[in-house]
Amino acid sequence: MTKEQNSDLRILVVDDSADIREFLQETLLEPAGYQVLTASDGEEGLQIALQEHPDLMLLDYEMPRMNGIEMLRALKEQGIAIPTILITSYGSESVAVEVFRLGVRDYVPKPFTVDDLLSSIERVKKEVRLEQERDALLQRLQSANTQLGQRVQELDVLYRVSKSVTTLRERDKLLERIVDASLYLTKALDGALILLDQETGKPTLRVSRIRSGNNCKSPDEEPNIMTQSQNIMVSVPLQIGGKILGALIVSNKRNRQPLNTRDQRLLRMLGDYAAIAIENIRLLAEIEAQREREKRELRTLFEHYVAPPVVSRILEQTQSIRPGGQRQTITTLFADLRGFTTFSATAAPETLIAVLNRHIAAAVGAILQEEGTLDKFMGDEVMAFFNAPLPQESYAMRAVRAAQGILAATAVTHQQLPVQQRLAFGIGISSGEAVVGNVGTSELVNFTVVGPTVNKAHMLQELAPAGKILICHRTYELVREHITARELPPVHIKGQEHSEPIYEIVSLT
């Protein structure tokens, strides 16, 4: 957003460091056009928040008198929700996860960069703006429904007729019912419904009704419904907002009986209901078509990654698959064929691919058996993860069982292969938080996971001997009651300050 657009947004900075407050206010936020309020601790921040209701808060976690979490809880008790970016000390990101339910939209670890903080502010602003637009849309819909309810109550007969019309979901039957209702309400002899083609604007007669009456001409004579003579014909538009859908017409041209103001008023009211019913059917058709497209896209996206039962659950819970990426705790598994490079140097291409596919198929079958998500194949290496895209109970144990299943399935496969074609997997497993989502371009996209825990699993796989499974300490803590494992000397994990113990799985208990 521009500086002028930012000028309407007030940001409350709550931090016990005067230097940070001054930097954020004078160097970062005010030059960007924001209005800035500051507080030196949680108590002062709480009072300002209650009085001023800022649009956004930049909130420190560790502060005297009242820390960030306590301030958020106090605001929640007051029924006040202010979008918040939590500024945490390095290494305390887990605290940020705990307070998301208290209104925190994002967190920025200290020390932070200007770009990181500004990007976080922009993301939160966008989320809040979308929520406000959604709420405004809901309010408009609620208002429209209220007005509709008031109109329904005006006349009981109109209520009964309109209810009969608006409950229909088949388009052709709906159009016929609308014309029948117009004749019933007005006692007119002839009725017609014309719809405009939404692309060309050309009017098309969709329904025409004729009924008998005193002093009528022969029903075989088709009335010219477009000829109007004083008040023997009434035409009302079918309109939603500024959008014209068509017209509803009734006529007493055949018996010259005038249509009074009551008939005209009821027809106008019916026209409103009819327009809503027609538009609703169109919108429902669009929504259903969109849902089917989304389901096809999701099925195409996931059917190559996960077992069919998981795909079915994803299609039933599409709301749980958020667009973009999200942080989620997962367990990652890497399995690599030992000795494949040596084997590939001497094997014929056809044999090489056949042997590789036999081993990969064994690994894939074991992973899908535990409803893991296949991420990718990298030559003779398989990557999978658990607890995404849908949450899973005992996800770490699923990964361990899948690893054991890979070794067991490989052993069965070896019984059908010559000795020189029997290759073994080395497997690494790690658990931790990662970013889960679609990565790629519009031409090529991959549903994958990224983060330190993924790199750790890959490193453990590189350390694992043939036929062995190595797991990280966190995975061990999650599955220790169900396995027998041998602790190995600690190893240094890239990106971690201290070495970490690792474990070799001996058996499942």
Confidence of residue 306 (pLDDT cuts 50, 70, 90): low
Would you state the pLDDT for residue 108?
82
CA dist 19 and 40 (Å) reads: 11
CA dist 259 and 427 (Å) reads: 84
Q: Is the pLDDT of residue 268 over 80?
A: yes
Residues 392 and 487 in one domain: yes
User: Is residue 138 a part of any domain in this protein?
Assistant: no
Q: 381-386 and 373-378: which strand pairing?
A: antiparallel
Residues 313 and 433 in one domain: yes
Residues 54 and 166 in one domain: no
Q: Which residue has the higher pLDDT, 27 or 486?
A: 486
**Domains held by the chain: number:** 3
Residues 118 and 166 in one domain: no
* Range 423-433 average pLDDT: 96
Residues 102 and 159 in one domain: no
Q: How many residues does the chain have?
A: 509
User: Is residue 237 a part of any domain in this protein?
Assistant: yes
* Range 340-362 average pLDDT: 91
Closest CA to 427 of 397, 450, 452, 402: 402
Residues 73 and 18 in one domain: yes
28-32, 104-108, 186-190, 245-249, range with the lowest pLDDT:
104-108
CA dist 388 and 400 (Å) reads: 16
In this structure, what is the dihedral angle of CA atoms 295, 296, 298, 304, given to the nearest 10 degrees? 140
Name the domain boundary from 68, 100, 133.
133
Closest CA to 150 of 238, 269, 274: 269
* Range 91-103 average pLDDT: 65
The DSSP element (H or E) to which 221 belongs, if any, is none
Q: Is the pLDDT of residue 312 over 60?
A: no
Q: 381-386 and 233-240: which strand pairing?
A: unpaired
Report pLDDT digits (tens) over 1-60.
566 666 678 999 999 989 888 988 988 888 888 899 999 999 999 999 999 999 899 988
User: Is residue 146 a part of any domain in this protein?
Assistant: no
Q: Across 183-187, 193-197, 476-480, which has the greatest mean pLDDT?
A: 476-480
The three-class DSSP label of residue 222 is: coil
Q: Is the pLDDT of residue 228 over 60?
A: no
User: Is residue 149 a part of any domain in this protein?
Assistant: no
Residues 359 and 443 in one domain: yes
CA dist 279 and 238 (Å) reads: 10
Confidence of residue 366 (pLDDT cuts 50, 70, 90): very high
Residues 430 and 324 in one domain: yes
463 within 8 A of 491, measured Cβ to Cβ: yes
Residue 84 is encoded by which pair of tokens?
A: 């918040």
CATH code at position 373: 3.30.70.1230
User: Is residue 89 a part of any domain in this protein?
Assistant: yes
Rounded to 10 deg, the angle between the 395-414 and 349-369 helix axes is 140
Per-residue b or e along 251-265, where b marks 16 or more CB atoms closer than 10 Å to that residue's CB: bbbbeebebeeebbb
User: Is residue 296 a part of any domain in this protein?
Assistant: no
CATH code at position 189: 3.30.450.40
Residues 254 and 312 in one domain: no
Residues 323 and 441 in one domain: yes
pTM (predicted TM-score):
0.45
Q: 56-60 and 243-251: which strand pairing?
A: unpaired
Which residues are within 8 A (CB) of 393 and not within 5 positions of it... i.e. 6 or more apart?
none
Across 120-275, the runs of DSSP E, i.e. the strands, are 190-196, 203-210, 233-240, 243-251
Q: Give me the domain span that covers residue 106.
A: 3-133
Residues 77 and 200 in one domain: no
User: Is residue 298 a part of any domain in this protein?
Assistant: no
Would you state the pLDDT for residue 147?
59
Closest CA to 337 of 188, 461, 491: 461
Residues 272 and 386 in one domain: no
Q: Is the pLDDT of residue 190 over 50?
A: yes
Which residues are within 8 A (CB) of 160 and not within 5 positions of it... i.e. 6 or more apart?
none
Percent of the chain clearing pLDDT 90 (strictly above): 32
User: Is residue 434 a part of any domain in this protein?
Assistant: yes
